[in-house]
Structure 1
Amino acid sequence: MLPNVGTPDRVVRILIGIAMILLAAFGKVPAWVGWLGLVPLVTGVIRICPLYWVLGIGRD
């Protein structure tokens, strides 16, 4: 798969993922929110979003 997540989207995904994980780690939100934060973090790091791929977003 080719990367389909651009740089601005990537930065936002990584920041949101880290924020969700940290909020869960400090007990401000339930633990499942931290686990859910892995999704934007991983998709931002590897630059591939499966949902974008299915919808045809970011493909040439």
Structure 2
Amino acid sequence: MKSNVGGIDKIARIVIGALLIGLALTGVIGAWGWIGVLPLATGLFNFCPAYSLFGINTCKLKK
């Protein structure tokens, strides 16, 4: 897997994912909050399968 998630995109995914999971654990938003596992995982692994399909890359290019 080649990294295709980087920078602010990565931080936003981790924060949003953790927030959704936290809200699900406290019962604020119900079971739908567990969808936060997806952005959390893609942020932690620096890889998003949807980005690969569409040819998107938010990582800085190495020179």
- Report the TM-score, using the length of structure 1 for normalisation: 0.90
Three-state SS of the structure 2 residue aligned to 1:37 is helix
Three-state SS of the structure 1 residue aligned to 2:21 is helix
Structure-2 residue corresponding to 1:56: 55
Q: Compute the RMSD of aligned alpha carbons.
A: 1.5
The letter of the residue matching 1:38 is V
Structure-1 residue corresponding to 2:11: 11
Structure-1 residue corresponding to 2:20: 20
Structure-2 residue corresponding to 1:46: 45
Q: Give unpaired runs (5+ residues) of structure 1.
A: none
Tell me how many residue pairs correspond in the alignment: 59
Q: Distance in 2 between matches of 1:32 and 1:8?
A: 24
Q: Give unpaired runs (5+ residues) of structure 2.
A: none
- Report the TM-score, using the length of structure 2 for normalisation: 0.86
Could you report, residue by residue, the CA deviation over 1:5-52 in whole angstroms, capped at 9, with x for unpaired residues?
01110000000000000001011001232x211000000000000000
